[in-house]
Structure 1
Amino acid sequence: MAHTDRGHYANKHREEMIDEAISKKIHSLAKNGSVPCATAHRIAKDFGVLPLEIGVQIDLLEYRISQCQNGLFGYTPKTKKINPDIEVSKELKDALDEANTDNRISCAGCWKIAATLKIKKVAVASACEKMDIKIKPCQLGAF
């Protein structure tokens, strides 16, 4: 959701209910109205649920998700942490070409490529940006 939707994140989940145990954990780890992506993934692992479920709970509690592990949003003073001038190796280009569908690749797909090539997630996202490949969907449901 865009910054103009701030404070109205719950509106995209009209049928969902707040999970009290998860919400308690989110409240305890949130800082300055936001929950970092890595923290949300750790909560998902701790509760044995998909990251998307944690993303929904974060929305229902009207927190923002920050510090995207792909570097796409939630950083200050700039919003992104990606490197638009990255040199894309042939190995990374080939992996992205194989994984992308209609100029899109999922967040999870980026993570898989990063793990396989033993490179940082932000390097994969930077290459996607340079190659005009959109990363969607986000594992937490941010986009």
Structure 2
Amino acid sequence: MGHQDKGHFAAKHNNRQINKTITEKIEALADNNSLTCSSAHRAGKALKISPLEIGVQTDLLEYQIAECQLGLFGYSDGKKRIDPDIVISPDLNEQLDKTNKDGRISCRECWNIAQNLKIKRLDVSSACEKKNIRIKPCQLGAF
């Protein structure tokens, strides 16, 4: 769901209920009904729950997830933070070729590649964009 769905995020979780403990953590970290990707991941780690569950609860609160750590969405100017001029290293190119399935790779896999190659997550997403590899699904369920 994108910006056009703002205020209707809960609709994608028909039978889910708000969890008070998770809600309190999200509300403590949120600003203006918006929770950054990094804050969402911190909340999940602190509560020992999956990022996806944080994403679901964020949706149920009708909060937006902002500042994707891969630079794909949630910035005030509405633009991605990827580098279209990135020079893709042979190691990164090999990892992306090996990992993507039918031109698609998950957010989690991008994070793993960045960690394994000791590079920025933004470099991985920039390389994906340059190679026309779609990043999906998001660990938080945003896309």
Which TM-score band applies after superposition, normalised by the shorter structure?
over 0.9
Q: When the two structures are aligned, how many residues end up with a matched partner?
A: 143
Q: Secondary structure at the match of 1:69?
A: coil
Match of 2:117 in 1: 117
Shift of 1:78: 4.2
Please name the residue that 2:13 is paired with.
13
Corresponding residue for 1:41? 41
> Quick one: distance in 2 between partners of 1:116 and 1:35?
27
Q: Distance in 2 between matches of 1:75 and 1:2?
A: 12
Partner of 1:129: 129
Residue type at the aligned position of 2:115? A
Q: Could you say which residue in structure 1 is the equivalent of 2:90?
A: 90
The CA deviation string for residues 6-40 of structure 1, in whole angstroms up to 9 with x for no partner, is 00000000111110011011111111221000000
SS of residue matched to 2:115: helix
Structure 1: unaligned runs, 5 residues or longer? none
What is the identity, as a one-letter code, of the residue corresponding to 1:125?
Answer: S
Alignment of 1:94-113 (within 5 A): 94-113=94-113
- Find the aligned partners of 1:15 and 1:48 in 2 and give their Cα distance: 22
Matched, 1:59 2:36: no
Q: Which residue of 1 aligns with 2:139?
A: 139
Query: AA paired with 2:19?
Result: D
Q: Distance in 1 between matches of 2:18 and 2:76?
A: 29
Local SS of the residue matching 2:68: coil
**Alpha-carbon distance in 2 for matches of 1:130, 1:7:** 32
Superposition misfits of 4+ residues, deviation over 3 angstroms: none
Secondary structure of 2:122's aligned partner: helix
Range that drifts further, 59-68 or 69-78? 69-78
CA RMSD across the alignment: 0.8
Tell me what 2:22 maps to: 22
Structure-1 separation of matches of 2:6 and 2:43: 22
